[in-house]
Amino acid sequence: AALRVHAAARAKFIGAALATGPLANESAYRGLAAAEFNQVTAENAMKWDATEPSQGQFTFGGADAVVSFATQNNQQVHGHTLVWHNQTPGWVQGLGASAMRAALQNHISQVVGRYAANPAVVSWDVVNEVFDDNGTLRTSFWYNTLGQSYIADAFRAARAADPDARLCINDYNTEGINAKSTALYNLVRSLRQDGVPVDCVGFQSHLAIQYGFPSQLQQNLQRFADLGVQVRITELDVRMVMPRDAGKDATQAAYYRDVVNACLAVTACAGITIWGFTDKYSWVPDTFSGQGAALIYNDSYQAKPAYTAVHDAL
Ligand code: XIL
């Protein structure tokens, strides 16, 4: 049976990030996206540059296409992402503090508000990648203009716009126990102590076989769960130095298996979203020179060993 059937039987979601181009143009892409997954994330269509390219001008064409696909296919939507330092227009970055705070609140109110009554849209990445790898808050334009208060403000605005949505903080290189994940842990604990509505922590999980599997993934998920938040794997992919070969495929499959098993072992882990599903459409070759083949189907939609590993683990 499909991945989504096995995931549902385990009370977990199995998701994929969807790109609006192939969603509109390729039936093979649509077919697998519908058949295999019960949760979707817009790969780019809900980001600030897509939804509010100029101030006060909201454009929801791509976001609506993803939500409508999900609705047709009985899938939930995880909103990604409200506040990030990338893919945010220059007009935001150039604002002064009080105008930037107002823009943040208006953006969240409009974007979250659009889908608040839609039962498919269940959760949001409210802030994304707020830490540097050494565990200090990233000196983004958000931080430089507003200080760290932008994080609490964003969560409060999201809660006000949709009291029922699950609100997440999302980051990368936080999968294992390390300085960055410990800083994230301390931030989540302190925000919640202050009454800031953080419900969920997302672990992107952009892994690479040549860098090793994150140490103590399951224990790390569990320590966050013990704070009372839901945890989830939000952007899983496992890249390799090209070219592919059978040995690399087998290592990749084992990484996928071990991520699924870590989530299954933690009650508060809601599920796993893969950052795409076919190597035909993946951010990896564009971002990491010489690397690729990070997903569970190859570029002609054939299942790879990684697909079988996820299937058999679920
Ligand atoms: C990436 C998309 O996959 C690309 O298409 C886009 O060009 C850049 O962003 N962390 C995130 C995602 O939170 O939004 C990023 O997605 C990958 C890294």
| pLDDT, tens digit only, all 314 positions of the chain | 999 999 999 999 999 999 999 999 999 999 999 999 999 999 999 999 999 999 999 999 999 999 999 999 999 999 999 999 999 999 999 999 999 999 999 999 999 999 999 999 999 999 999 999 999 999 999 999 999 999 999 999 999 999 999 999 999 999 999 999 999 999 999 999 999 999 999 999 999 999 999 999 999 999 999 999 999 999 999 999 999 999 999 999 999 999 999 999 999 999 999 999 999 999 999 999 999 999 999 999 999 999 999 999 99
Mutate to test the pocket of ligand 1, among 23, 44, 277 (most ligand atoms within 8 A of CB): 44
Task: Specify the pairing of strand 230-241 against strand 291-292.
Answer: antiparallel
Indicate which residue's Cα is closest to atom 3 of ligand 1.
Answer: 283
Indicate which residue's Cα is closest to atom 16 of ligand 1.
Answer: 43
Indicate which residue's Cα is closest to atom 5 of ligand 1.
Answer: 283
**Phi, psi values for residue 269, rounded to 5°:** -85, 115
Indicate which residue's Cα is closest to atom 1 of ligand 1.
Answer: 283
- Residue 78 CA to ligand 1 centre (angstroms): 15
- What's the pLDDT score for residue 47? 99
Token pair listed for 278: 């076919």
Spatial distance between the Cα atoms of 246 and 249, rounded to a whole number of angstroms: 5
Identify which of 141, 156, 241, 235 has the alpha carbon closest to the alpha carbon of residue 194: 156
- What's the pLDDT score for residue 203? 99
Q: What global pTM score does this model have?
A: 0.99
- Residue 43 CA to ligand 1 centre (angstroms): 6
Contact present, 309 and 254 (Cβ < 8 Å)? yes
Indicate which residue's Cα is closest to atom 12 of ligand 1.
Answer: 43
Residue the block writes with tokens 């059937």: 5
Domain ranges within the chain, ordered by starting residue: 3-271+299-313
Spatial distance between the Cα atoms of 166 and 181, rounded to a whole number of angstroms: 21
Indicate which residue's Cα is closest to atom 7 of ligand 1.
Answer: 283
- What's the pLDDT score for residue 290? 98
Write out the DSSP string of the chain: --HHHHHHHTT-EEEEEE-HHHHHH-HHHHHHHHHH-SEEEESSTTSHHHH-SBTTB---HHHHHHHHHHHHTT-EEEE--SB-SSS--HHHHT--HHHHHHHHHHHHHHHHHHHTT-TTEEEEEEEE--B-TTSSBP--HHHHHHTTHHHHHHHHHHHHH-TTSEEEEEESS-SSSSHHHHHHHHHHHHHHHTT----EEEE--EEEGGG-PPTTHHHHHHHHHTTT-EEEEEEEEEEEESSP-HHHHHHHHHHHHHHHHHHHT-TTEEEEEES-SBTTS-SHHHHSTTEE--SSB-TTSPBPHHHHHHHHH-
One-letter amino acid identity for 218? Q
Give the ligand 1 atom nearest the CA of 206: 18
Q: 215 burial class (0-12, 13-18, 19+ CB within 10 angstroms)?
A: exposed
Indicate which residue's Cα is closest to atom 9 of ligand 1.
Answer: 44
Mutate to test the pocket of ligand 1, among 78, 133, 201, 235 (most ligand atoms within 8 A of CB): 235
Identify which of 167, 174, 175, 162 has the alpha carbon closest to the alpha carbon of residue 192: 167
- Residue 47 CA to ligand 1 centre (angstroms): 10
- Residue 151 CA to ligand 1 centre (angstroms): 20
Q: 193 burial class (0-12, 13-18, 19+ CB within 10 angstroms)?
A: exposed
- Residue 287 CA to ligand 1 centre (angstroms): 9
Q: How far is CA 299 from the centre of its chain?
A: 22
Q: Which CATH class is domain 3-271+299-313?
A: alpha beta
Contact present, 63 and 37 (Cβ < 8 Å)? no
Give the ligand 1 atom nearest the CA of 128: 13
Give the ligand 1 atom nearest the CA of 282: 3
Q: How far is CA 304 from CA 8, 33, 129, 299, in A?
A: 22, 16, 30, 10
- What's the pLDDT score for residue 162? 98
- Residue 195 CA to ligand 1 centre (angstroms): 30
Which of 36, 52, 129, 235 is catalytic? The answer is 235
Query: Among this protein's residues, is 235 annotated catalytic?
Result: yes
Spatial distance between the Cα atoms of 146 and 184, rounded to a whole number of angstroms: 19
In this prediction the ipTM stands at 0.99
- What's the pLDDT score for residue 230? 99
- Residue 55 CA to ligand 1 centre (angstroms): 22
Q: Give the residues surrounding ligand 1 with Cβ less than 6 Å away.
A: 43-44, 128, 204, 235, 283
Token pair listed for 276: 């795409």
